[in-house]
Structure 1
């Protein structure tokens, strides 16, 4: 049996490996949850829906997110924002349809959320993105 004095050295050696494993687990969980959110976004993507899609009890998913120091609502907003930016940049889809596709019941709610996320309206974002890409503004 090793003396107790060697335990801190062993902990020091193993800590980077443990951190890498935790980071990988967090990234995997985040990717799974984000993928499920993307698939369910039109319907609102609640924690319960995502847990069912991932074949996990809601309580277990909530615990896993908590252990990974991730909030479901933050992930939901990140997925909504990413999808909205992609649709605004890459398509001519009407903003009302983008609001619906990203899980908002009203375009005005989408506008407020988008402005909170990026500091500009969806129309301003689309116009700026198109100017940056040298495209003609169709809005």
Structure 2
């Protein structure tokens, strides 16, 4: 089990305690891509927010700790990410934190075979991948043209 959400529903209030034990055992994309792993953690936070009032989480630091220990972010990056409330802003911030290798992994991930934890990213990934292939092909053609005397 990779995470647990313990809920307590009382009259007039609900409270949650969240524990993320480790990386997802169910979703291969989370084990393959740092970008998807962070998206998965953020999806857990959205699930918790949908079930309880934001102030009713017993251990609100769970998300920052998971982003550091499982998602591979620094403490500052994790804290700043959790201040961003909208998915688009989170997407842009996380993307800026990734190195080139992780970006390549995310862009080339085949979402016919992997789960996607960033709404709409499967579409953007395909478009970016096609665009990058086109740019790479143009670059190779240009390089060959420069070599010919």
Q: Which has the higher helix share?
A: 1
Q: Which has the higher strand share?
A: 2
Taking structure 2 as the reference length, the TM-score comes to 0.29
